[in-house]
Structure formats: structure tokens, C-alpha cells
Amino acid sequence: MQPTPRPSLRARIAQMLLVGFRGTTPAEAAAVLADIRERSLGGVVLFSTDQPTGSAVRNIVSAAQLTALTAALQAAAADAEARLPLMVSVDEEGGRVARLGPDHGFPATESAADLGARGDPAYTRRAGAAIGQTLRSVGINLDLAPVVDVNVNLDNPIIGALDRSFSGDPDVVAAQAEAFVAGCHEAGVLTTLKHFPGHGSSTGDTHLGVVDVTDTWQREVELAPFARLIADGSADAILTAHVFNRTLDPDHPATLSEATIDGLLRGTLGWDGVVISDDMQMGAIREAYGYEEAIQLAITAGVDVLTIAQQQVFEDGIVGRTIDLIEAMVADGRLSEERIDRSWERIREFKARLATTAG
């Protein structure tokens, strides 16, 4: 058998992008379908409504509608140069952060806080399996969950206050996250541990602006769940936080920090799998960096998949523009082609485990 030819540099770069888009039908999603088919876009992230306003329907109306949409997206990926499955992802944590809810005909879900308070990993595994089955049934193969942030600050506006953390005890967080992941795996859905290196102690929301956790972050406590799940093989992918912590990097937030990703995550904790950024259009990045600079820093830091969820600003042609920017960085030496290939290989291995159809 002849080996599959390596895709072009542009196609390999495109595999590093996970984008949000508008459209509930293939016709409405024609632009992203073209990005997938013609540019080898690697993944999409689905939302029920525009974020953060919730002002308009984004991608999700009903189970039948969503199944038809994801089938069209995967079919486009099958025709692309890269010939890899599409990452079809969603934030389905349970509770308040659940894009597939009763309003769209899907089952209600329990929050991480409720599951953690129950303290029954077997129950949490069943809850994870139920979420996984719901996702798989409509063609979603990657859950951007569970949150493994430790609930250090109960008043944290984006974690604790929204019941997104399992517990303030890192051992409980780790046990509950392991169970949730195992349940999703039973359903054939991969998962993402977030938000590295820990968002649970923050006092601000990185969606809105720069958040500094230097004085609140607790290293041993907040790294513990990540370390345990990496060590026991439960991690599929890890998603970064945009939090700034000068004890780790005096200049850059975690997503853009080589010391934090290549140093702490890959070096100290030994993670060699896929690293996904939080949305590169969130306020914590937009307020402090230009788009091109942020993209270069994230890739240099060790990020493999750049999330462009477009929560604040929808830009036509963002996929092509981002590919152009990264290709130019390789051409002028700001990034090496070997660096792109390291991400390409991780993504290729990750995608070998992705389901490609509803089940």
C-alpha cells in the first residue's frame, strides 16, 4: 500500500484551526463548507446562539437539523486535501454551559458542581456517557469539557459562580473528571481538559479582558487534576487559559507562553498530545495583542489548534487570512515548517480516534 502523501503546507496549517461560524443548514454554512473542502479546515466549534450576547441563533435548532449540518461538514472534510476527519466540537459541560439543551429538544444536564457535590464517580460516569451519547447522536465528536479547574475562588465570575467546577478539592476534581471522560469515551466522544494551568482562582473573566492570577493561583492545588489525568491516560486534549501569571511568565498569558505550554505542560507534566487554545478573540487576547502577534506567540508557545470562535467579531474570510498569516511566518522564518509539522502529527494521531458519523 502506498503511503498517503503529506498535504501541502497550507493544508497542514488549516488543520490547526478550530473556527466558529454562522449557519444552521448547509446552505447557510456555505462559507465554512468551502473552507473545509477547499482549504482543509481542521475543525469547527458549534454554538446555540451568538456568544456572549445570546442574541441570535448560531448553529443549533434541533437534533434533526444539527445531524444534517454535521453530516454535511464531515462530507466536505472527506473531499479535502488533508483527508482527515473534521473536529466537530461543542462546549457541553452540563448545567449552565450546555449548548444542546431542552430548548432545542435535548435532555437536561447537571452541572459539574452538582456532580461533584454528589460525590459518586459512577453517577458522573453515567452523566458523561449520557452527554456523550447526545453529542454522538448528532455527529459531534469532541466535547470541550470537562472543566478541571479547582474551585479555589467561590466567587469566580466565570468558573465558580457558574457551577463549572466539580469541587474546591483537587482530588475530587480529578476523580470526577476521570469519570466524566470515561463516560464520554463509552459513547465514542473525545474530551478536552480545561483551562490549563488553572482558572479556578481568578477574580475576572478572560472573555472580557486581561485577568491576572499571580496573587491567587495555587500551583500544587490547581495543577493536580491536570497532572493526574495526564499520568493515568485520561487526557485526550488540553485547552489553555488566557490567564496571566507572572510566576510562570512575566510577559505573556498562558495561551501565548512558551514557558507555560512547552515548559510546564509538555516538559514538567509530560503532555505530548494536542493543545487547543481558548478563543483567540476573547478580550484577554484582543485587548493586549494584535491578531497576527497573538497567533505567532501561541504557535511558538506550543499550541496545536487555534480556536477562533468569533465570540465578539465575525470576520468573513478569517480562515484564509489566518492561513496566509501563518504561511508568511514560515516563509520569513518567524515560524519553522518543523514546528507546523509537530502540530500536524499530533493532530493526525488525535483525529485517528475521532468518530466521523452520528451514532
Active site residues: 207, 278
d(CA 204, CA 289): 18
Place of cell 465514542: 188
Give the H/E segment covering residue 306.
Answer: strand 306-308
333-354 burial, b at 16+ Cβ within 10 Å, e below that, comes to eebeeeebeebbebbbebbeeb
Burial tier of 27 (Cβ tally within 10 Å: 0-12, 13-18, 19+): exposed
DSSP reduced 3-state for 35: helix
Q: Which has the closest alpha carbon to 278: 359, 164, 197? A: 197
Cα distance between the two ends of the chain:
30
The owner of cell 488543520 is 15
Number of H helices, E strands in the chain: 12, 10
Give the Cα separation of 244 and 20 in Å (integer).
25
Cα dihedral 237/87/56/92 (nearest 10): -40
Query: Inter-axis angle of helices 318-331 and 30-39, to 10 degrees?
Result: 30
The residue length of the chain stands at 359
Quote the crossing angle between the two packed helices 63-78 and 30-39, to the nearest 10°: 30
